[in-house]
Amino acid sequence: MKALEGVRILDMTNVLAGPFATLHLALLGAEVIKIENPVGGDLARKLGNVPELNQKLMGTSFLAQNSNKKSLTLNLKFDEAKKIFKELIMTSDVLVENFRPGVMKRLGFSYEEISKLNPKLIYCAISGFGQTGPDAFKPAYDQIIQGLSGVMAINGDETLNPLRCGFPVCDTVGGLNAAYAIMSALYYREKTGEGQFIDISMLDSIMPLMGWVAANLLIGGKHPVLMGNDNFTAAPSGTFATKDGYINIAANKQEQWHDLCDILGLPELKEDERFKERDTRKANRKKLTPILEEKLKEKETKFWVDTLNEKGVPSGEILSLEEALNQEQIKHRNAISEIETPGIGKIKVFNLTAKFDKTNGDVDAPPPLLSEHTNEILKSLGYSEEEIVSLKEKKVI
């Protein structure tokens, strides 16, 4: 049995934040029915770096976020589609959408109306800024939120700033926040029998992830300093040059600093007044780094990684994305699954990365073709073959 087995989720989301949320729920065993526009479906179906897949409406961006889901097409401008949607609402546990505020209300499906049909339904709305406030109706993409959240302002160094995070961090964090909130609401419903409305803002979601950096300003009154690959909490902690490349070292504890000095053959630094204590090391990191790198450049990265980790000084290589995806630890943890996908062949997608000993999740089904499950779902609602054909002719589905 999987953790969310028996839970039905109506997924009206597009592109990333919403689909990322429902992906995790699907991997946990929920039946996720992706409701898509009959013409084109989720925009992500056309997004990716493989044109042939985009033309098949199975772009890499879509494939990455939609394993274990079903696809039902509905044109909600038709009364017949609205009737089907109402029937689904009455048989579902959760509805997730990431339209701009007000869109569902204009379609006649505000939370107030939906909750009359199914008071136990959990309704999760994901948007850039939330459902209320002065910016609620502004359009938002990940990079817009990265800029407005302060993320871009704290990245990089004096030579490269502002700097965006290299992947859509605000979208994905917004999706994770939504999944977490939905799970909490399901737990509350188990105890009370009541559904509720959840308002997820991408801007709200990303802000707490800057916890320590924000706390230094909110509590300590100190603005962030651009430090590139250095860690502001300790020194030496960051990226350093070696003979053949770079290494990350995090000697965050005093004993790790002492061990690093001994390993590099620089025991005198332990008593050097510039570097003796954490705060003085941080203040003098620009003087400390060249001293350490002079020694580190004598040998290759792998030598230092093995030697430092063996002595308890955290260190690691800086891998390319390809190397990172293929490293033995990731394989051991089964973080990536291979699944046969009709019309494409085998593809690699991420698995559920939380490991449960009783209710573990897995990739059981490939991302769906557009409208792949429409007949199956409508038949489960009692529609006959003739009625389904008629709906297709009218372009309702």
Question: What are the residue numbers of the active site?
Answer: 171
Q: How many residues does the chain have?
A: 397
Angle (CA) 75-76-78 rounded to 5° is 85
Rounded CA separation 256/259 (Å): 5
CA angle 311, 313, 318 (to 5 degrees): 120
Helix 17-27 and helix 169-192, axial crossing angle in degrees, nearest 10: 50
Q: How far is 138 from 166, CA to CA, in rounded Å? A: 24
Q: H or E stretch including 179?
A: helix 169-192
What is the residue-wise DSSP string for 340-359? EETTTEEEEEE---S--SSS
Number of H helices, E strands in the chain: 19, 11
Task: Annotate 298-321 with b (16+ C-beta within 10 A) or e (fewer).
Answer: eeebeebbeebeeeebebebeeee
CB-facing half-sphere around the CA of 316: CA atoms within 13 A: 10
* Nearest alpha-carbon partner for 65 in 84, 42, 39, 93: 42
